A = this chain, B = another copy of it.
Amino acid sequence: MNIWSWFGGKRDEECILPINSSLSVTLHQDQLKTTTTVACSRSFQEDRIWLNGKEEDINQPRLQSCLREIRRLARKRRSDGEGGVDLAGLSHKVHICSVNNFPTAAGLASSAAGYACLVYTLARVMGVEGELSAVARQGSGSACRSMYGGFVQWIMGQREDGKDSVAQQVEPETHWPELRILVLVVSAERKPVGSTSGMQTSVETSSLLKHRSDSVVPARMKEMIDAVHRKDFAAFAELTMKDSNQFHAICLDTYPPIFYLNDVSRHIINLVHHYNQHYREARVAYTFDAGPNAVIYTLQQHVDEFLQVVKHFFPPETNGGQFVKGLPVASTTLTEELRQAIGMEPMVKGISYIISTKAGPGPCIVEEPSQHLLGSDGLPKESA
């Protein structure tokens, strides 16, 4: 996330309308992805869902909201005489199967990817087209941005019913190919406070949050969008770091306070600032979602060196798996000068692994049947 928002407040009791606009970059599916298969059949007795190999309760209110809304749009389309799909399927039950290739609930926005993917897939199966971010929003607020690739803003909107609270692409993922993203996975443990309840408590108790939403964010959104258009990394970096810090500041100003950053996160923050100070320019930026993992932005020409710096100051376990996964990085030698300029104590095993990635597209269709997660019997394949 680059510009943060909270949900809830006066306009909305169900925590799906934001109190300010926000902006994020969609990560590439080659590295971080949710895959969802939806099947519908007259033989299915009831709606069912499997997440990461385990059947979950289909009656979760947010899941039901998405299902209801897509079915309503499908019926509307049929009564309008549109669409060329199997319309009989509308009365059928659905089986949904979804897997992430990254840890869930560890602050890596798994619910955003999950609901975006679900809504996109349901819509395809039921022959619904058009703007779907408002539907995804009802599953998980930030899922609406994940309906698009590249740089995406979520415009808060003004209407009480939230119909104008939708996502909009600022620039596609091809706009800034030099931009690289590193996810430093600090801990795969579940975060202590689910982000929805935390958000509601912040809206209710932080005496700084309203000032942020009303008076700080509008200007920041403009500056951020402008920095993205101009591909101005220094401006993009500073705004991203400041907004991440302010998000966590508001969490701390919540009562009781909410902590997502831990000592490793703070070490990463200091490392980034020391690195930038050494070069007298912002070459690297961090942002932290609702968890201790860092998302690092940098440019192609700096990624190899910065990764070497991270490896030096967060030495990986020697007998573990691959430390850097995803897009390849080249090995470089760290100069003694840079090491000394950063001047921190190395923190062994602070980072468990790194995902090397970049901006990516929105939801895509998986054509290859062997990749589908449900078998011909409508049940998860063994591998799912």
Which A residues contact B (CB, under 8 angstroms)?
Answer: 207-208, 211-212, 215-216, 238, 241-242, 245-246, 248-250, 252-257, 259, 262-263, 266, 269-270, 273
The answer to whether A252 and B255 have CB atoms under 8 Å apart is no
A238 neighbours in B (Cβ, 8 Å): 255
- Complex: how many Å from CA A233 to CA B131? 54
- Complex: how many Å from CA A257 to CA B274? 12
A263 neighbours in B (Cβ, 8 Å): 262-263
A216 neighbours in B (Cβ, 8 Å): 207-208
CB distance from A87 to the nearest CB of B (A): 52
Q: A207 contacts which of B246, B254, B256, B269 (Cβ < 8 Å)?
A: B246
The answer to whether B255 and A245 have CB atoms under 8 Å apart is yes
A207 neighbours in B (Cβ, 8 Å): 212, 215-216, 242, 246
Additional A-B contact list (5), CB under 8 Å, known A208-B212, A257-B269: A207-B216, A208-B208, A245-B253, A246-B253, A249-B249
The answer to whether B255 and A266 have CB atoms under 8 Å apart is no
A212 neighbours in B (Cβ, 8 Å): 207-208
CB distance from A355 to the nearest CB of B (A): 24
- Complex: how many Å from CA A12 to CA B195? 41
The answer to whether A253 and B249 have CB atoms under 8 Å apart is yes
The answer to whether A266 and B259 have CB atoms under 8 Å apart is yes
Given A207-B216, A211-B208; A248-B252 close (CB under 8 Å): yes
CB distance from A344 to the nearest CB of B (A): 10
Nearest first, the 5 A-B pairs at minimum CB distance are: A249-B249, A249-B253, A249-B252, A211-B211, A256-B273
- Complex: how many Å from CA A192 to CA B250? 23
Q: A208 contacts which of B246, B255, B270 (Cβ < 8 Å)?
A: B246
CB distance from A375 to the nearest CB of B (A): 42
The answer to whether A241 and B259 have CB atoms under 8 Å apart is no
- Complex: how many Å from CA A253 to CA B249? 6
CB distance from A220 to the nearest CB of B (A): 9
- Complex: how many Å from CA A257 to CA B271? 12
A250 neighbours in B (Cβ, 8 Å): 249
CB distance from A316 to the nearest CB of B (A): 21
A245 neighbours in B (Cβ, 8 Å): 252-255, 257
A262 neighbours in B (Cβ, 8 Å): 263, 266
- Complex: how many Å from CA A273 to CA B257? 9
Interface centre among A208, A216, A266 (most CB of B within 10 A): A208
- Complex: how many Å from CA A241 to CA B212? 21
CB distance from A319 to the nearest CB of B (A): 26
